[in-house]
């Protein structure tokens, strides 16, 4: 699996550099994925710089530093933070065939996460339709088509600074490396109704679910790149049935551990730009008894339902719901051995959000989002709640799509984690807040035409 990731990186970064030189002398259209109504040129890119002034309030240190908090930033990070710089590049290799690369730079998340890395890298083929069916094939490393929030360049969101709990987790631990097929067709000629199906087979993502147990759900805007090593809350060290210390632990979420492919599939219905409903199923098919490269497999699978609806007076409603489970082994050692306390357990995963949003005068957007989330073990006597909580997020965004946008966002997260007093001597309930003023600067290839 490491060879696959290294190959993607070795191909992607030189290609990105060559593309940047090429675009200097050729006018291009905007990114087709982010703005599908615009015509695409041979070379197309979006460069974006994200920065924010953050005022967090939390009893814990940030999870990206190995702390127990749900926020990306803690109280030591108050002030200006450079969150992300990325280039989203798409090249038309021949009619119907394109290559896409998203190269990211972030400055947090552990020593192994600094610098430039690749978030997505894939080939996409859209054959000329010969019937009412429109097909698409993708191969490489990409996001599954599940999020209703993250439709911008570089999988960014037009609604606020942070993502919902569901899409935050998809950005952290879910990045299939494989092949995806999709098809769309209108129900009849001239009808606004459209149906679609998609299916994929992939390798990697075998540790997916690890963060949800050890840290819990989170809400932020950090996306994991292909070679990132993520910090987690420290691993308790046991002796004679008692915790005698802690050891740093990490996660490389896109690794392949057991050599078995996973898959996902879904169906959706659209009514023009007014309504959308999607139902999908994801299963990484990982073996929880498999161990490789310092990581165990976590058999994670979930059902996912999403809906989007245009309401009167310019309002929009967006909702997603995820319900699944993950199987894994407790109380193992970092070198892959079982202990007398090792058990095969199953934890239930659930998260949902509803967002009401309104765009005013094509430049001002106000969004209000409610999130609920939980990780629990029903078979434990009594029921174990590894993470449970809710969050409110209110955001105002002023946007000049071709130049910049400014977002003011307030967020509050309340959570309960039953294991915190036992594992870390920390309080089981916490309320975390953050006020962010985010500024995004962008340059699209369409401005060079």
Coil, strand or helix at 432: strand
Query: CA 211 to CA 231: how far, in whole Å?
Result: 9
Other C-beta atoms closer than 10 Å to the C-beta of 60 total 20
Q: Which token pair is 177?
A: 């490396």
Looking at residue 109, what is its pLDDT?
Answer: 54
Query: CA 44 to CA 49: how far, in whole Å?
Result: 17
DSSP assignment of 63-98:
GGGT-S-SSS--GGG-EEEEEEEEEEEEEEEETTEE
Cβ within 8 Å of residue 295, ≥6 positions away: 206, 207, 210, 251, 252, 255, 257
Are 194 and 273 a contacting pair, CB within 8 Å? no
Looking at residue 371, what is its pLDDT?
Answer: 98
Looking at residue 112, what is its pLDDT?
Answer: 54
The pTM is what?
0.89
Cβ within 8 Å of residue 169, ≥6 positions away: 211, 212, 217, 218, 351
Looking at residue 55, what is its pLDDT?
Answer: 97
Model pLDDT for residues 161-201, shown as the tens digit of each residue: 999 999 999 999 999 999 999 999 998 888 899 999 999 99
Are 236 and 121 a contacting pair, CB within 8 Å? no
- What are the start-end ranges of the E strands in 126-272? 134-141, 177-186, 193-203, 230-239, 242-251, 262-271
Looking at residue 5, what is its pLDDT?
Answer: 46
Q: Pick out the chain residues at pLDDT < 70.
A: 1-41, 109-114, 449
Give the domain ranges of the chain: 50-79+109-117+128-444
Architecture of domain 50-79+109-117+128-444: Beta Barrel (2.40)
């Amino acid at each position: 699996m490491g060879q696959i990731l290294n190959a993607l990186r070795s191909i992607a970064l030189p290609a990105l550099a060559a593309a940047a030189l090429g675009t200097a002398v050729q006018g291009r259209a905007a990114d087709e994925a982010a703005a599908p109504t615009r015509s695409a040129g041979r070379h197309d890119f979006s460069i974006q710089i994200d920065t924010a002034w953050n005022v967090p309030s939390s009893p814990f240190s940030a999870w990206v530093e190995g702390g127990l908090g749900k926020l990306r930033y803690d109280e030591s990070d108050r002030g200006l933070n450079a969150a992300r710089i990325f280039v989203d590049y798409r090249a038309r290799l021949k009619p119907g065939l394109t290559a896409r690369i998203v190269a990211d730079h972030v400055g947090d998340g552990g020593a192994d996460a600094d610098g430039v890395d690749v978030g997505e890298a894939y080939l996409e083929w859209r054959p000329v339709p010969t019937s009412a069916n429109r097909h698409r094939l993708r191969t490489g490393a990409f996001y599954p088509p599940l999020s209703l929030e993250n439709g911008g360049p570089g999988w960014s969101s037009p609604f606020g600074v942070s993502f919902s709990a569901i899409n935050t987790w998809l950005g952290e631990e879910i990045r299939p490396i494989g092949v995806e097929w999709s098809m769309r067709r209108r129900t009849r000629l001239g009808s606004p109704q459209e149906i679609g199906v998609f299916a994929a087979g992939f390798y990697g993502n075998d540790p997916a679910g690890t963060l949800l147990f050890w840290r819990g759900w989170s809400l932020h805007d950090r996306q994991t790149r292909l070679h990132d090593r993520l910090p987690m809350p420290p691993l308790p060290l046991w002796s004679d049935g008692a915790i005698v210390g802690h050891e740093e632990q990490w996660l490389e979420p896109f690794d392949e551990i057991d050599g078995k492919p996973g898959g996902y599939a879904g169906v959706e219905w659209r009514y023009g730009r007014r309504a959308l409903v999607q139902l999908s199923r994801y299963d990484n098919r990982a073996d929880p008894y498999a161990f490789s490269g310092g990581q165990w497999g976590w058999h994670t699978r979930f059902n996912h339902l999403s809906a989007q609806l245009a309401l009167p007076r310019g309002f929009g409603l967006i909702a997603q719901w995820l319900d699944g489970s993950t199987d894994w082994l407790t109380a193992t050692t970092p070198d892959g051995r079982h202990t007398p306390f090792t058990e095969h357990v199953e934890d239930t995963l659930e998260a949902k959000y509803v967002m009401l949003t309104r765009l005013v005068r094509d430049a001002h957007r106000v969004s209000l989002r409610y999130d609920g989330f939980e990780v629990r073990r029903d078979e434990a006597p009594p029921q174990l709640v590894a993470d449970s909580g809710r969050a409110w997020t209110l955001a105002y965004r002023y946007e000049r799509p071709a130049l910049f946008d400014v977002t003011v966002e307030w967020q509050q997260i309340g959570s309960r984690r039953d294991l915190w007093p036992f594992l870390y001597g920390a309080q089981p309930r916490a309320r975390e807040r953050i006020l962010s003023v985010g500024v995004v600067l962008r340059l699209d290839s369409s401005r060079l035409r």
